[in-house]
Amino acid sequence: MEIMQVVDELVCTRRVAGLYAASLRVLRTSKGKISVATDPVGAAPGKWVFTVSGSAARYAQGDARVLTDLTIAGILDNWSDPAQGRSEGAAQSAAVFR
């Protein structure tokens, strides 16, 4: 699992049949790495989410036939970008996720 921020929705007019009608989102890590993930939970741009990858991503999508290796599994209720700094207690909590 990895924590990432939703940058934007990704619209593809042509796609492989194995993606079916899965919603896609552009994500970035706190270090700036960009990825694309399927989104069964409806995460809006700007929201922080946690993702699952590999075979777990196919199951998290809700349909193991969907060809994905990165899926948004949940929207975080309270999270700050580690690159922007925060209080000591929050920094200690973030260390658990690294």
CA–CA gap between residue 39 and residue 4 (Å, rounded) = 13
pLDDT tens for residues 62-84? 888 889 999 999 999 987 776 77
Domains parsed from the chain with CATH numbers: 2-97 (2.40.50.220)
Measured from the Cβ of residue 47, the count of other Cβ atoms closer than 10 Å reads 17
CB atoms within 10 A of CB 67: 15
pTM (global) more than 0.85:
no
The CA-to-CA distance between both ends of the chain, in Å, stands at: 10
User: Using one digit for the tens of pLDDT, what is the confidence trace for 11-37?
Assistant: 988 888 888 888 999 999 988 999 999
Q: What is the mean predicted confidence (pLDDT) over 56-65?
A: 89
